[in-house]
């Protein structure tokens, strides 16, 4: 069963610079290490709900065959991962419902302290869908706990992800096949046709934008994550973080 959002992937040009910028925004940033193969390295922003943001950068030229490669080459949201409790069974269920997934494929990285971390992934063939990331080594080795999850800006977790897609009906069927459920009934979205899926304590909102900034974003970058809804312990109303400060990531912070 898929239990919730595991992490969100944020591509940055310079990992050290991005880490400093996120610290300046009130986030606690933990060095992640180098991925197997030495192509990329990362840093993590972990939350009390168990999810995290992954700041990731290439250590050289990123090959076009890499799962995170995007032709536009811009910083910002690339994709996100869902957390399965038994990845092989979740892959089999999704395939039975007609969805094509690649995997399980082994992955891993070496932390700065030398600890090896291992996982398995299942990857979709289209960018509107997330991938699955299931742990082989204990999850606490991959996702730090304790003080690493406390942030001076008060953010406690990921409340939702907004996705821009080309065809809402096609993407709705793909998400239903992946998650094994139909979308929730929600209010209309001003940007275009939309559906929403509940995953753990978060919501995935899939939108086919017909106008405005989201449509421009879709045309420029292709299908995939458009923005994040972050939960905060503060009681004040929603507020935005400028994407120029987050290396291209649109964030709305809401009480929760």
Question: Does the pTM of the predicted model rise above 0.75?
Answer: yes
Q: Give the residue from 204, 77, 29 showing the smallest Cα distance to 68.
A: 77
**How many angstroms separate the CA atoms of 256 and 4, rounded?**
17
Environment class of 36 (CB within 10 Å of its CB; exposed 0-12, middle 13-18, buried 19+): middle
**How many angstroms separate the CA atoms of 131 and 183, rounded?**
19
* pLDDT of res. 138: 97
Beta strands in 136-186 (DSSP E): 155-164
Residues 6+ apart with CB under 8 A from 76: 10, 11, 221, 243, 247, 248, 249
The pLDDT tens digits for 45-92 are 999 999 999 999 999 889 999 999 999 999 999 999 999 999 999 999
pLDDT category at 233 given cuts 50, 70, 90 is confident
Given strand 155-164, what is the order of strands in its sheet?
194-199, 202-207, 155-164, 224-232, 250-255, 239-241
φ/ψ (deg, to 5) at 250: -80, 120
**How many angstroms separate the CA atoms of 227 and 251, rounded?**
6
Q: What is the mean pLDDT of residues 156-177?
A: 97
**How many angstroms separate the CA atoms of 45 and 155, rounded?**
10
């Amino acid at each position: 069963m898929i239990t919730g959002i595991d992490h969100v992937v944020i591509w940055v040009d310079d990992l050290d610079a991005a880490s400093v910028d996120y610290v300046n925004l009130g986030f606690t940033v933990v060095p992640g290490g180098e991925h197997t193969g030495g192509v990329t390295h990362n840093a993590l922003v972990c939350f009390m709900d168990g999810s995290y943001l992954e700041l990731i950068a290439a250590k050289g030229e990123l090959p076009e065959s890499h799962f995170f490669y995007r032709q536009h080459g811009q910083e910002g949201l690339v994709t996100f991962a869902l957390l399965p409790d038994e990845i092989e069974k979740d892959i089999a269920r999704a395939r039975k419902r007609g969805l094509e997934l690649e995997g399980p494929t082994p992955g891993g990285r070496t932390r700065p302290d030398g600890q090896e971390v291992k996982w398995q992934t299942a990857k979709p063939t289209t960018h509107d869908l997330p991938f699955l990331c299931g742990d082989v080594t204990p999850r606490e080795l991959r996702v730090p706990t304790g003080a690493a999850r406390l942030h001076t800006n008060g953010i406690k977790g990921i409340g939702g992800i907004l996705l821009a897609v080309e065809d809402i009906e096609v993407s709705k069927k793909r998400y239903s096949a992946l998650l094994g459920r139909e979308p929730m009934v929600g209010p209309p979205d001003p940007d275009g046709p939309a559906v929403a899926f509940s995953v753990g304590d978060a919501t995935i909102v899939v939108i086919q934008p017909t106008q405005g900034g989201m449509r421009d974003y879709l045309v420029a970058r292709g299908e995939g994550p458009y923005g994040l809804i972050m939960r905060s312990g503060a009681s004040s109303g929603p507020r935005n973080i400028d994407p120029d400060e987050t290396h291209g990531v649109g964030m709305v912070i809401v009480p929760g």
